[in-house]
Structure 1
Amino acid sequence: MTNSGVVTPHSRPGTPSGLINSPPLQLNSTSNINSSQLQVPNNLSNLSTQPTSTTSSVVSSNKQQQQQHVPSYEKPIYEQLFSIYKSLLDLKNNRNKYINSKQVYSIYDLFLNVINDLKLTRKDEELKGITLNLPNGNDLIIDDIFQLLSLCFVTCGLIKFAPATYSSLSAVMKLLTHLKECKVYTMDDLKPVGVRLNEIKNILINSNNQFENDNDDEDEEDYKMSRNHQIEETLLRNKLNKCENLYAQLVDNFKNIPSDLEPIYHELIKIRANLLNFVTQEDSKTISNEKLNDKINQFKLNLKNIEKLRDEIDGKFHSQQIQNDENKLDSIQAILNGLIDDCNNLIADLMIHDEEINLKNLNINDEKPNIEVSSDLKIQYDYIYKTLQNLKLTLDNLLVTRRWTLRETDLYTYQKTLKSIDEQRIKIVEQTPKGTFKKYQTLILYLLRRCYSIIYKLLESSEPVSESLTPIHNQLQTVKRCLLELKRVDGVNNLRELYPFQFKLASIDNLKKDGKFIVDRTVPEGQGALCALLSECFDIIQEMKIELEEKELEEEEEEENEENAKINENELNSLNSSQNHNGTTNGSLVSKIANGGSFTNSKEVSGSGGIDEIDDVEIKRNRFQEFNEADYDLESESAFDDDDDQISDSEFEGNDYY
């Protein structure tokens, strides 16, 4: 975001400015802390990333703190590392330009060279007999630099590049550490982590194989690359081995639970997680007593159903697999009973409030009356708890809007803040008398786990596309989803419905130069992913066109079939009517012939046209009567007789009136 406040195409806000500029938490039980100093920042939800002038002062203060723990012979190396760290922060905070992979590669090579110098320096000191006090300030800043570099590689779309996995390993390490500390987890929590560790292991193996294939010749440049590769592999392997060892411990601990008691264990874990989520949620500030009672009754009913599975005699959860091992069965009972007690305690906390429940101000203080506790501990716990609540809410929002607002390097600020909070939490827990503030500790640990899990999800959801191509990638993803949804609801009715999608895809396709998407005279990473997605959208449109043609052909065939059916029906009706008419005519002819009538002038009343024939007969009969009744003179009569003589016999024979 620029100083003018206008969001540029390069600005992808995602990091709270309050977190960038705020120094790590410094909380001690001996320090004088007042409530005004512990106000939770309200700008955690403000996703503005404009760096301010205070950033440099914060970096300088961190430098002074870390430099105190660096031996004198390592201080020159620390200055070099700090210079790299500062350049990475400037690169991260610069919103006017996209992060270029060439810049990141150059900084990464410089970083590995400095680590090699540190390695040689420490070897020399060991040979001199000096005992190294590790880790020191150099190790801490190396971890920070590697995390920033890892996130820069992810931002550039190089998610399959070995250094890009370091930030994921850091998040996984924190998740596993917190799972081990809370001692409450299931295999569903561990399986995704195990899958990710295997993926990272394969990435490291492929990277090593590729390096060996590309560097067969030995010269000075290849020696340098080989040395840097070994340093990189050592750093990543050490991190990966720590995660794998911790993961194996958690899996082994879980194997102690018999398979027939796993459903009970999983259900208790689920109820406990739902209760913790309900207590710590920030989006619903207040809740009515009626809704709260319904929720509590549901939790109590679920716990009651689990309690019914106990044995009525000894009150234990029995297993068919460990009937003879009482010690193992008792240890499992302790785990299950502890989960049930945690759930009941959380439900009891919810039940003690009045009609209007404010979850934000929920009283979770459980200090024992017989033990004196410093009031500063309560203030510190409360500050960390509310800070984590706001931070979790910010990360939840970022999880929804990550495609448009997230720049992966912004996650470093969240990781740094969470790391500082976690360190202060551990110090406060060590100072807390045993048995006090258990609920605070449980809720804070839960919020820490939730925040780290969201960061882990954000890292895993990254696409292998550079941030400069991310807007195009998001547009293609939107077009693809719209096309698939349109195809799912029986396609289109005419080609005009596809015109907007075709225009959009054509405009994106026209951005390519020589078949590549070029930004700032560079070819960013992710060309293959974008071209594949663009081709997929074109294929979907072509499939929909084919479906439309098939649909139109089917409709035409149906119309033709309907018309043919109507024609056949009309022809059948006309054929039946003609057959009936022919049958009637033939019958009348037969009767006429039988009665001696002629085929020419004879008429029948019955049959078709009977009314016209009757009228004609009546006219002729009336005329004949008029002729008989007329009074003629002799001349006319003789003339009439002469005319009668001229009438042929055939006429008399064909006249029915005589």
Structure 2
Amino acid sequence: MTDSPTVRIPLDPQEQPMLDKLLAIRTKLELLKQDKSTYVKSQDVIELYDQVVEQVEVLNQIRTTKRLEQNRVDTVLDDCFQLISLAYMTIGKNHEAPAVYSFVSTTKRLLDHLEEAHFYSPKDLESIGAELKSCRRYLERGKDSYSPQLLTLLNARIGVCEEILGRLELNLSHLTPDLTPKYDKLVSILRSLAGCNTRSKFPNEEVDDYLEQLKELQEELRPYGIHAYETTGSREEKIAEMAEKLQISMAHPEPAPEAKELIETLLRRNFLWVALIKEKQGRIAPAFQDTYDKLLTIRNKLEKLSLTQAWSLRETDLWNFQRQLDRIDEARVDGNFFDALGRPAELYEQRTLLYLLRKSYSLIYHLIVSSEPVSEALLPIYNQLTTLRKCLQEVKKLGGVSSPRELYPYSMKLNSIDNMRIDGKFMVGNEIPDGQGSVTQLLEECFELAYELRTDVEDSSSADQTPASESGTEPLAA
């Protein structure tokens, strides 16, 4: 089991029974997510949610005079809420208050990393801002259905995210419309370069291409008085000088940096990063190889999941990744990684490890956001209908069919899915899984597409068979 980072504060004897119960609940939740022989059932998840809320109420009664205390009870409680949140998504209750918990936790991590990195795209902030507004709506809708303690906690955490988001937006507020695309391009190049640095074989040609793009951007930015540092001396001296100057400029960031300073610093970081990665060629210092391998494995597994999400993701599986990443993230000191002997990582290792850590949190964020509000029990049907809709849309885009007979396979499949419904509902055993509306809407869209294609081909066939005299025109004389 991957436990959460341990908070080493003495446990109040009154809280021991609570800790024992929460550990038992967490074990049940883990067993629930690990059992792939059956679907996760709504009643099981809701029952465990009620048990956790019961312990929260007891905890609040004990801590009337020490609200800010944090010990192992809190870390295990966080585990339980994270698992329940992901389980709510697994059963299709994505828009319910408990499901918000995991999203907000991941978003907070992501925002912290964006603020630490100093450089991010306005599109990153737009996406997060829109999702936080949706979370607010879900909480408002569930205020009469869920525990006030949970809603208060979630409202506070969303508030923290909104506060960080506001600071990040302020940092970009000085960008003018003509500079924003150039800034976006520099952010994109920096991230792409970091990705190149984690390939199994270092892509020299690709890095050279990014270097050329940077030089072009530098020329475009010169009229604005923006340029990278000019350095002299050997290659090693240039890298050292660039790194030193960059660290000095980043050590004292302005609360809301002006556009010139922001872009200039980003441009320098890109040039420095090109120089560093071309020198290192993907080689990580042995002291940090284990951390690198662990983060690389997590990143690769999450990327694979993002490609096959519709068919292979059980949202509760994300918890293991979250826990591993949290342990690595919280082991950093003042933002840096340290080896077994307590020595800090050099700039190259630090930036490479941070890229993998941030990329992994970003992938989890996107997996959560793109999770469909459909129960795991209905996903096979939902995925089939999604594929059918794509096929029908493609057929329509390519000009339709030449004969109604070509639509028979689609019609047969749609009818077979429609016939699975009992009293208009898709049943799994005696349960009516969540996501009925989404599946039914998708089924109706498919039927509508098939009907449009059939009508088009029948109209076309009818027009071809209409005699010329009936169409109101006389045949031309021979």
The letter of the residue matching 2:326 is K
Among candidates 170, 175, 182, match of residue 117 of structure 2: 182
Change (3 A) 1:558 1:163: farther
From 363, 366, 391, give the equivalent of 2:283. 363
Q: For the Cα contact (< 8 Å) 2:336–2:345, is it kept in 1?
A: no
Q: CA RMSD in A?
A: 3.1
- Conserved? CA contact 2:337–2:344, under 8 Å: no
1:167 equivalenced with 2:102 (yes/no) = yes
SS at match of 1:520: coil
Letter in 2 for 1:455: I
Among 545, 569, 573, the alignment partner of 2:477 is: 569
2:126 corresponding residue in structure 1: 191
Contact 2:113/2:358 (<8 A) preserved: yes
Structure 2 gaps of 5+ residues are: 231-253
Given the alignment of the two structures, is residue 349 of structure 1 paired with residue 276 of structure 2, yes or no? yes
Which of 310, 319, 338 is the equivalent residue of 2:265? 338
Name the residue aligned to 1:391: 298
Per the TM alignment, residue 501 of structure 1 is displaced from its structure 2 partner at its CA by 0.6
When residues 248 and 556 of structure 1 are mapped into structure 2, their CA distance, relative to the original with a 3 A threshold, is same
Amino acid at match of 2:289: D
TM superposition shift of 1:384 = 1.8
Quote the offset at 1:255 in angstroms.
2.5
Residue 377 of structure 2 is aligned with which of 468, 472, 479? 468
Q: Note closer, same or farther for the CA distance 1:384–1:558 as it changes in structure 2 (3 Å cut).
A: farther
Letter in 1 for 2:477: E
- Per-residue displacement from partner, 1:619-658 (whole Å, max 9, x unpaired)? xxxxxxxxxxxxxxxxxxxxxxxxxxxxxxxxxxxxxxxx
Structure 1 position 285 matched with structure 2 position 226: no
Distance 1:435 1:386 in 2: 18
CA shift at 1:105, angstroms?
0.9
Q: Please name the residue that 1:587 is paired with.
A: none
Residue deviations 1:469-505, cap 9 Å, x none?
1000101111111111111111111111011011111
| Counterpart residue number, 1:478 | 387
Distance 1:547 1:268, change over 3 A: same
1: distance between equivalents of 2:106 and 2:257? Answer: 35
Cα deviation code 1:517-542 (max 9, x no counterpart): 11122111111221221122111111
- Find out whether 1:450 has 2:366 as its counterpart: no
Task: Identify if the C-alpha distance between structure 1 residues 510 and 295 changes in structure 2 by more than 3 Å, giving closer, same or farther.
Answer: same
Spell out, residue by residue over 1:147-205, the C-alpha distance to the aligned partner (whole angstroms, 9 max, x if none): 10000100000111111111110111011000111111232221110111111011111
Deviation for aligned residue 1:349: 2.9
Match of 1:521 among 417, 430, 452: 430
- Say whether the 8 Å CA contact 1:88–1:149 is kept in structure 2: yes
Structure 2 CA distance for partners of 1:296 and 1:333, relative to 1, 3 Å: closer
Q: Which residue of 2 aligns with 1:52?
A: none
Amino acid at match of 2:142: S
Residues 263-278 of structure 1: pairs in structure 2 closer than 5 A:
263-278=181-196
Residue aligning to 2:323: 416
How far the C-alpha of 1:93 sits from its partner, in A, is: 0.6
**C-alpha separation in 1, matches of 2:10 and 2:425:** 50
Q: Which residue of 1 aligns with 2:411?
A: 502
Residues of 2 paired with 1:330 and 1:255: CA distance?
A: 9
CA distance, structure 1, for counterparts of residue 364 and residue 226 of structure 2: 43
CA distance in 2, matches of 1:501, 1:182: 50
**C-alpha distance in structure 1 between counterparts of 2:431 and 2:271, whole Å:** 60
Secondary structure of 2:477's counterpart equals helix
**Amino acid aligned to 1:179:** L
Does 1:429 find its partner at 2:336?
yes
Out of 118, 126, 142, the position equivalent to 2:59 is: 118
Structure 2: how far apart are the matches of 1:564 and 1:332? Answer: 69
> Which one-letter code corresponds to 2:283 in the other structure?
N
Matched, 1:248 2:173: no
Residue 246 of structure 2 corresponds to which residue in structure 1? none
| Matching residue of 1:310 | 225
Match of 1:596 in 2: none
For residues 441 and 72 of structure 2, what CA distance do their matches in structure 1 show? Answer: 46
Q: Which residue of 1 is the match for residue 233 of structure 2?
A: none
Aligned-pair CA distance for 1:305: 3.5
SS at match of 2:81: helix
Q: Deviations over 1:93-119 (max 9, x none)?
A: 111121111111111111111110111
Change (3 A) 1:409 1:430: closer
Could you list the per-position Cα deviations for residues 589-626 of structure 1 after superposition, in whole angstroms to 9, with x for gaps in the alignment?
xxxxxxxxxxxxxxxxxxxxxxxxxxxxxxxxxxxxxx
Does structure 1 residue 92 correspond to structure 2 residue 37? no
Alpha-carbon distance between aligned partners in 2 of 1:460 and 1:484, rounded to the nearest angstrom: 25
Cα shift readout 1:366-409 (whole Å, capped 9, x = no counterpart): xxxxxxxxxxxx44433222322222121111111011111111
User: What's the TM-score, normalizing by structure 1?
Assistant: 0.63
Q: Does the C-alpha gap of structure 1 residues 331 and 484 become closer, same or farther in structure 2, counting only changes over 3 Å?
A: closer
How far apart in 2 are the matches of 1:513 and 1:519? 10
Q: CA deviation at 1:337?
A: 3.1
SS at match of 2:63: helix
2:240 maps to none
The offset of 1:291, in angstroms, is 5.7
Q: Distance in 2 between matches of 1:523 and 1:177?
A: 40
* Amino-acid identity (%): 32
Question: Which one-letter code corresponds to 1:118 in the other structure?
Answer: L
Q: Which runs of 5+ in 1 are unaligned?
A: 1-20, 25-61, 212-227, 316-326, 354-358, 365-377, 571-658
Structure 2 contact 427–433 (Cα < 8 Å) conserved: yes
1:75 aligns with 2:16: yes
Whether the aligned pair in 1 keeps the contact of 2:182 and 2:217 (CA below 8 Å) is: no
Distance 1:166 1:549 in 2: 52
How far residue 508 of structure 1 moved from its aligned partner, in angstroms, is 0.9
Q: 1:413 to 1:329 in 2, by over 3 A?
A: closer
Q: Distance in 2 between the 1:483 and 1:501 partners?
A: 8
Alignment partners' CA distance in 2, 1:241 and 1:554: 62
Aligned-partner residue type, residue 271 of structure 2: N
Q: Give the Cα separation in 2 of the matches to 1:206 and 1:134.
A: 30
Q: CA deviation at 1:67?
A: 8.2
Distance 1:494 1:199 in 2: 45
Aligned to 1:647: none
Contact 1:272 1:343 in 2 (8 A): yes
Shift of 1:264: 4.2
Q: Which has the larger radius of gyration?
A: 1
CA distance in 2, matches of 1:328, 1:238: 24
Letter in 2 for 1:249: R
Provide the secondary structure at the position in 2 that maps to 1:429: coil
2-structure distance, mates of 1:168, 1:329: 27
Counterpart in the other structure of 2:249? none
Equivalenced residue count is: 452
Change (3 A) 1:291 1:132: closer
